[in-house]
Structure 1
Amino acid sequence: MARSVIITCAPTGGIHTPTMSPHLPVTPAEIARASIEAAEAGASIIHLHARDPETGKPDPRPETFMQFLPTIKQSTGAVINVSTGGGLGMTMDERLAAATAASPEMASLNMGSMNFGIFPMLEKYSDWKHPWEPKFLGMTRDFIFPNTFATIEYALKNLGEAHQTKFEFECYDLGHLYNVKWFVDQGLIRPPFFIQMVFGILGGMGADLENLMHLHRTADRLFGPENYEWSVLAAGRHQMPFATQSAMLGGNLRVGLEDSLYIGKGELAVSNAQQVERIRGIIENLGLSVATPDEARERLGLKGGDRVAF
């Protein structure tokens, strides 16, 4: 029988800016509310970034995260996943600060350095809410998002081993799977682990079905299907089609305003819950079921929400 589908929701991220959508959660209260609504709609994992409540700029400070993490934990049973991607341009210590303070069940970890181009979004807007927004987007024309073997190992040891936090390993390209395999062979990543395949970011893999199929086959060959869970996210207009493809192929998926601001062609999503509800309906219409948070915990070997620091 097909296993239930784990839905991850990423409510705000560190890429889109406040000008792009009035529905993007910015304040701690907005992020908490968006997360709770997404969990109620069917998301079993909530992937979290923080933002400066005044400007909406990505914010790595643990004290900002702590304004919404306890509220989400007290209001849902969802697995809370603290991003270590942070905001483009942050140091690794800044990116790890909130997760090491919170000691969550899960955290994200990018598995390779890459060009990360979000500067094309500059062409879509002219009247910016905040001065930092166009500068932030524009700097990615000459920017490499650094995730070296040394910094990945640092995160695996100082967050993974020290806190028994497990990771959402974000793989934007084929080589990132081989980076995961290297750390598996070193004994720093142990099953069951969670691979998030990321498509549609300029500088990473294109959102082509052939790429998804090739990565899935490669991951099965490298790791053995019994040792890992795989999930798919795709940026922008590719979000729902790729999430659907993943469910059809026996995988899991991620939605949320971090990855796409839209619910349909030219139609902004009014909430993260709207996206979760849309993909849940698709999953159930395919004759599949949605995983509960406790099912996700069991399949991913998580330590449990009673062992976090918030």
Structure 2
Amino acid sequence: MASASDKVIITCAVTGSVHTPTMSPHLPLTPEQIAEQAIEAAQAGAAILHLHARDPVDGRPSADPAVFDRFVPRIRDATDAVINITTGGSTRMTLEERLAYPLKAQPEMCSLNMGSMNFTIHPVARKYAEWRYDWEQPYVEGMEDLIFRNTFRDIRHILKVLGEDCGTRFEFECYDVGHLYTLAHFVDAGLIQGPLFIQSIFGILGGMGADPENVVMMKTTADRLFGRGGYRFSVLGAGRHQMSLLTMGAVLGGNVRVGLEDSLYLDRGSLARSNAEQVRKIRRILQELSLEIATPDDARSMLGLKGRDATGI
């Protein structure tokens, strides 16, 4: 049997803030739906659950701690998965809004985007003649003129108030090679301690393209900056690139992230009916490659997490 360090961590990003209700009837929107799909994803093999909140009435992204409190404790009680709360929220949220629930919950993990960037799916709006809710079309089209903000000062603030003060560790979301150098800057400054968990993201307009060569480039750059034993590499492929890039990342020794935040599909032209469907699919692929799947406790050991009992959830 492989040691924990040789196993593959499956992260599942359950709902996100990019896709809108019109795009899939299976996208979880209410606290009940988010909890149900997150629990099923954990049962299917996801060791880490990456969580956003949505307005229970119309599904728009929400940073309201009261909404998070309607599903996060339920997930905690039903699974032993690592709960990972977004600090990204959406491009329309302030830093204070994005940090409101993470600071309350003090979770084992939070996501942390390693830079300000253009982040958009606005071309997708052309696919839809009708929208389920009035907010969706201007929300998607408006991404063309918005920037996701995470300045060096913002990142330093998050590292202090969540990392240093709360003992939370991070899923460092890197959308381009420059984000790796930003991460290295904070490591060199002594503000981040290993082991690092680097989530390399491919296929988002405004970030790195979903080319196999880019996966290799990110991996070799991280090797150079942090040393091959100094970090954990993970791959996120957006949209139709999900499973192929994840498979490549696993072959390179990395971990993987699935979920309806990242792709609404299971196969070409076939919407995923749940997050768990994607977890089960990547789990089958990994097992066919003779790779073992990390349990939540394996992930805690591999990433040096503080443990569930030290959180405010």
Fold conserved between structures, TM > 0.5: yes
Q: Identify the match of residue 65 of structure 1 among 65, 68, 77.
A: 68
1:216 and 2:219 matched: yes
SS of 1:253 mapped into structure 2: strand
CA distance in 2 between partners of 1:174 and 1:3 (Å)? 25
SS of 2:124 mapped into structure 1: helix
1:244 and 2:247 matched: yes
SS of 1:242 mapped into structure 2: helix
Matched AA of 2:203: G
Aligned runs of 1:27-38 on 2, under 5 Å? 27-38=30-41
Aligned equivalent of 2:172: 169
Structure 2 residue runs without a partner (length 5+): none
Aligned equivalent of 1:227: 230
Residue 142 of structure 1, CA deviation? 1.2
Matched AA of 1:216: K
Aligned equivalent of 2:26: 23
CA distance in 2 between partners of 1:135 and 1:124 (Å)? 14
Percent identity, please: 58
Aligned equivalent of 1:309: 312
CA distance in 1 between partners of 2:79 and 2:136 (Å)? 32
SS of 1:167 mapped into structure 2: strand
SS of 1:225 mapped into structure 2: coil
Aligned equivalent of 1:96: 99
Work out whether residues 91 and 149 of structure 2, in 8 Å CA contact, stay in contact via their aligned partners in 1: no
Q: Identify the match of residue 89 of structure 2 among 86, 90, 109.
A: 86
Q: Identify the match of residue 275 of structure 1 among 268, 274, 278.
A: 278
Structure 1 residue runs without a partner (length 5+): none
Aligned equivalent of 2:79: 76
Work out whether residues 90 and 148 of structure 2, in 8 Å CA contact, stay in contact via their aligned partners in 1: no
Residue 257 of structure 1, CA deviation? 0.2
| Count of residues in Structure 1 that have an aligned counterpart in Structure 2 | 310
Residue by residue over 1:64-120, the C-alpha shift from the partner in whole angstroms, topping out at 9 and shown as x without a partner, is 111111110110010000001101211111111111111100000000111112101
1:122 and 2:122 matched: no
Residue 6 of structure 1, CA deviation? 0.3
1:8 and 2:11 matched: yes
Residue 169 of structure 1, CA deviation? 0.4
Q: Identify the match of residue 290 of structure 1 among 279, 289, 293.
A: 293
Q: Which aligned segments of 4 or more residues in structure 1 are displaced greater than 4 angstroms?
A: none
Work out whether residues 119 and 143 of structure 2, in 8 Å CA contact, stay in contact via their aligned partners in 1: yes
RMSD of Structure 2 on Structure 1 (CA): 0.8
CA distance in 2 between partners of 1:65 and 1:5 (Å)? 28
Residue 226 of structure 1, CA deviation? 1.3
Aligned runs of 1:121-200 on 2, under 5 Å? 121-200=124-203
Residue by residue over 1:121-175, the C-alpha shift from the partner in whole angstroms, topping out at 9 and shown as x without a partner, is 1011121111111111111111111110000001000111111000000000000
Matched AA of 1:13: G
Aligned equivalent of 1:265: 268
CA distance in 2 between partners of 1:171 and 1:211 (Å)? 12
Farther off after superposition, 126-135 or 42-51:
126-135
Aligned equivalent of 2:49: 46
Aligned equivalent of 1:109: 112
TM-score (norm 2): 0.98
Matched AA of 1:95: R
TM-score (norm 1): 0.99
Matched AA of 2:63: P
Residue 225 of structure 1, CA deviation? 1.7
